[in-house]
Amino acid sequence: MSTRPKAQPLLELKNLRRSFGGTKAVNGVSLTVYKGEILGIIGRSGAGKSTLIRCINGLEKPDSGSIFYKSRDSAGLTLEESRQMRRRIAMIFQQFNLLSSRTIIDNVALPLKLAGMSKIARRQKAAELLQTVGLGGKEQHYPAFLSGGQKQRVGIARALAAGPDILLSDEASSALDPETTQAILQLLREINRKMGVTIILITHEMEVIRAIADRLIVLDKGKIVEQGAVKDIFARPQAAATRALLQTIIPSLPPALAAQLRPQGHEAVIEFHLSGAAANTPFLQDLQRDTGAIARIIHGGMDTIQGERQGRFFLALNAGDKAKLAQALAWLAAKGDKSEVLGYV
Ligand SMILES: Nc1ncnc2c1ncn2[C@@H]1O[C@H](COP(=O)(O)OP(=O)(O)OP(=O)(O)O)[C@@H](O)[C@H]1O
Ligand SMILES: [Mg+2]
């Protein structure tokens, strides 16, 4: 797990707004990005994620609000300081944005050339970066001859060339197959851990967040509707937008079982979530010991998110009578993050 020292703000957005005609794409966003973290930003299509990130890297000008970088208001910077800041914030793209007429080493060396580095120094640096991203030996290849995953590695090497503090990624893995996505995420994790680069990751895919993000921000209609540690939000999502997005990774009752649910029956079917210390207990036995109710698992299982155990189960619970059922439900409610009667069988 992360052994980060005391969280230190690197980037702070204050009440940022950006509209397009009547569309309030970013509608009053304030947030802090801490040094060394991987911050995930999720939200439905059109929530304002790309606009927000484009405001951070200067591709988009906010209508109002402020951006503080290392505690300095970006509005007060000179042109040169502003350019310096821009260089400290690098970006990788879904479409890779490589120059097809240049070899991959030239693609990576280009930002170094623009920064005024000598030819020998920049080729050496670019070769090192290609090594870092796992493309050593392919320096003279052209982008067209690389797979999607390799192209993204070149994109990452190029982004790292200027020695950024922050790496912005807007759906950088969404054009890739699941296996390649995992490899790219692993690489980003390594860059974060070994080079100390702070990463802001925009994605539609909860699997991506689950795999590498430390903290999560949920945007909806241009506003932040939820933020916190990934494991806390995954265990207890609050906002409707968060719940909707998390549907893809939270198991639901299989249709065949759902079809058997009745308004009355011997057993109550309960959706039960638990996390943290509670998830490491023999909770079905404890339930029986404390309340006499016998429950069996009909669906679901355990998961580990950021090192925390989280369980999501569908239980069929036989409590005997109504009073005992109420007692068992109270027990589950106290123990878990969620316990909801879906029906009876
Ligand atoms: N250049 C633009 N001109 C007009 N409208 C824009 C522009 N850029 C974004 N928008 C609008 O602003 C809103 C937010 O768009 P944005 O691209 O930031 O969303 P997003 O969260 O990145 O969505 P997606 O997940 O589909 O990439 C949308 O309604 C979009 O249509
Ligand atoms: Mg977008």
Q: Count other C-beta atoms under 10 Å from residue 321's C-beta.
A: 8
**Structural tokens at position 224:** 């932040």
Q: What is the mean pLDDT of residues 257-265?
A: 94
Same-domain check for residues 199 and 299: no
**Domain contains 306:** yes
The candidate with the shortest Cα–Cα distance to 289, out of 232, 254, 328, is 328
The residue to which tokens 């797990």 are assigned? 1
Bridge partners, 338 (sequence order):
273
How many angstroms separate the alpha carbon of residue 174 from the centre of ligand 2? 11
Q: Give me the CATH number covering residue 289.
A: 3.30.70.260
Whether residue 268 has pLDDT greater than 50: yes
Mean of all residue pLDDT scores within the chain: 93
pLDDT of residue 1: 46
**Domain contains 3:** no
Whether residue 250 has pLDDT greater than 90: no
Ligand 1 pocket: which of 17, 23, 53 to mutate (most atoms within 8 A of CB): 23
pTM for this model (two decimals)? 0.89
Q: Give me the CATH number covering residue 50.
A: 3.40.50.300
Ligand 1 pocket: which of 20, 204, 219 to mutate (most atoms within 8 A of CB): 20
pLDDT of residue 173: 80
Same-domain check for residues 293 and 230: no
CB 230 within 8 A of CB 210: yes
Distance CA 221, CA 44 (A): 9
In whole angstroms, how far apart are CA 62 and each of 23, 38, 56, 157? 13, 24, 9, 29
Distance CA 10, CA 70 (A): 5
CB 87 within 8 A of CB 164: yes
Distance of CA 295 to the CA centre of its chain: 35
Q: What is the mean pLDDT of residues 209-232?
A: 96
b/e map 19-35, b = 16+ CB within 10 Å: eeeeebbbbebebbbbb
Task: Tell me the per-residue pLDDT of 153-172, one tens digit each, with 9 for 90 and over.
Answer: 999 999 999 899 999 999 88
Task: Tell me the per-residue pLDDT of 284-334, one tens digit each, with 9 for 90 and over.
Answer: 999 999 999 999 999 999 999 989 999 999 999 998 888 999 999 999 999
Same-domain check for residues 283 and 222: no
Whether residue 152 has pLDDT greater than 80: yes
**Structural tokens at position 253:** 């009752």
Distance CA 11, CA 32 (A): 6
How many angstroms separate the alpha carbon of residue 218 from the centre of ligand 1? 16
Same-domain check for residues 234 and 259: no
- Containing domain of residue 157, as a range? 9-247
Give residue ranges with CB within 6 A of ligand 1: 20, 23, 25, 43, 45-51, 204
pLDDT of residue 93: 85
Task: Tell me the per-residue pLDDT of 8-40, one tens digit each, with 9 for 90 and over.
Answer: 999 999 999 999 999 999 999 999 999 999 999
